[in-house]
Amino acid sequence: MKKLLALFLISVFSITGIAVTDAKAVGLGFFLEKGTGSGESTTYDVFISGNDIDDDYDTDHFALGFQLDTNPFDEGTFNYRLSVGVDSIEGDADSGNDVELDGLTIENDFGFRVGGNDKIRIWIGPEVRVGFYEGDNDAGGDLDLVSLGVGPVVGANFGVSDSVAITVKAGYIFSAFYGEVDYSFDSYDYTGEVTMLFISAGMLFIP
How far is residue 167's CA from residue 206's CA, in Å, rounded to a whole number? 12
How far is residue 34's CA from residue 170's CA, in Å, rounded to a whole number? 10
How far is residue 10's CA from residue 12's CA, in Å, rounded to a whole number? 6
Question: What confidence score (pLDDT) does residue 23 get?
Answer: 44
Q: What is the dihedral sign for C-alpha 184, 187, 188, 193?
A: positive
Q: Which of 14-18, 69-73, 172-176 is most confident?
A: 172-176
Q: Which helix (H) or strand (E) holds 45?
A: strand 27-46
In the predicted structure, residue 7 carries a pLDDT above the cut 60: no
What are the residue ranges spanned by the domains of the chain?
Answer: 2-205
Question: What confidence score (pLDDT) does residue 185 get?
Answer: 83
In the predicted structure, residue 20 carries a pLDDT above the cut 80: no
Three-state DSSP class for residue 186? coil
How far is residue 107's CA from residue 4's CA, in Å, rounded to a whole number? 16
pLDDT, tens digit, for every residue of 100-158?
999 999 999 999 999 999 899 999 999 999 999 999 999 999 999 999 999 999 999 99
Of the listed ranges 4-13, 24-33, 88-97, the least confidently predicted one is 4-13
**pLDDT-derived band at 3, boundaries 50, 70, 90:** low
Of the listed ranges 58-62, 70-74, 91-95, the least confidently predicted one is 70-74
Of the listed ranges 16-25, 68-77, 153-162, the least confidently predicted one is 16-25
Q: Which helix (H) or strand (E) holds 6?
A: helix 2-21
In the predicted structure, residue 74 carries a pLDDT above the cut 90: no
pTM: 0.86
What fold is seen in the domain 2-205? Answer: Porin (2.40.160)
List strand residue ranges (DSSP E) for 47-186, in order: 51-69, 78-93, 99-116, 120-137, 142-159, 164-182
Three-state DSSP class for residue 10? helix
Cβ neighbours for 143, distance < 8 A, ≥ 6 positions apart = 99, 101, 133, 134, 135, 136, 137, 179, 180, 181, 182, 190
**pLDDT-derived band at 181, boundaries 50, 70, 90:** very high
Average pLDDT over residues 159-170: 95
Torsion on CA atoms 206, 124, 170, 105, rounded to nearest 10: -70
